[in-house]
Amino acid sequence: MNLKEHVLSKPLPKHIAIIMDGNGRWAKQKGMLRAFGHENGTKSVKTAVETCAALGVENLTLYAFSTENWNRPKLEVQTLMKLLVSSLKKEIKTLQKNNIKLAAIGNLNSLPAKVYKELHEVIDQTKQNTRLTLTLALSYGSREEILNTVKEISIKVKNNIISPEIIDESIINEHLYTRNLPDVDLLIRTSGEQRISNFLLWQIAYAELYFSDVLWPDFTKEHLYNAIIEYQKRERRFGKTSEQL
């Protein structure tokens, strides 16, 4: 069996989320500017999206820009925003051809107008697609998302739309940016760092975590297969004993 057949022989994660880390270090190792790392990072984005679509993974969520990333040098922020617009323009055809729906989570109003416009155009044009939902986390921070959820629910309580007694996990889920997505099954972080960095804190409650030492621009299809194979080996107990499963 080759790696792909191996992956397909067992149940797939329904939702993979990736913290794409290490672009800067990758470029530095090559004596290049950080922007070169981000440019090459977009190639790995393409590979990850196409691999998930080919396997039949239904949801892929990528941490493309965090709320904290606004604090990077202005030039780097501009480079990332430009890359985003050019990638969206370039890849719209591939998204359509592969029946991929684009979505975005985060404080999208804080994005530059050009990015916001392009993003919403692609979201609109791909909204009927059903094979894979590709969600980009942009100007995203999990605490901000939870804060926003608390505010929205509080306003509904104040206006007698919701009574506090009925607030449960599903009501919280319905108010998160990820309201249309299932919980994360597999969270991958590249570049050897082992932390969550304010990404999908509520949604990863039962996710399997997979940390890879590979820097994001070097993360290939085979690396993704191996992450899924590792996920498939783990026994997800959701608090139960092995015997109860």
Contact yes or no for 116/85 (Cβ under 8 A): no
Question: Known catalytic residues?
Answer: 21, 69
For 26, the 3-state DSSP assignment is helix
Among 16, 42, 104, 177, contact with ligand FPP (rule: CB under 6 A)? 42
Q: Which stretch binds ligand FPP (CB under 6 A): 4-12, 81-89, 109-117, 236-244?
A: 81-89
How many alpha carbons lie under 13 Å from residue 122 in its C-beta half-sphere? 28
Among 15, 16, 17, 21, contact with ligand FPP (rule: CB under 6 A)? 21
Q: What are φ and ψ of residue 125, in 5° steps?
A: -70, -20
For tokens 């107008």, name the residue. Answer: 113
For 62, the 3-state DSSP assignment is strand
Answer yes or no whether residue 84 interacts with ligand FPP by CB under 6 A: yes
Q: Which is nearer to ligand FPP, 215 or 228 (CB)?
A: 215
Question: 70, 74, 80: which is closest to 41 by C-alpha?
Answer: 80
Q: What does the per-residue mask of binding to ligand FPP show for 203-242, with x meaning CB under 6 A?
A: -------------x--------------------------
Taking residue 135's Cβ as centre, other Cβ atoms within 10 Å add up to 23
Answer yes or no whether residue 172 interacts with ligand FPP by CB under 6 A: no
Query: In the complex, which residues of this chain contact ligand FPP (CB under 6 A)?
Result: 20-25, 38, 41-42, 45, 62, 64, 69, 80, 83-84, 87, 136, 216
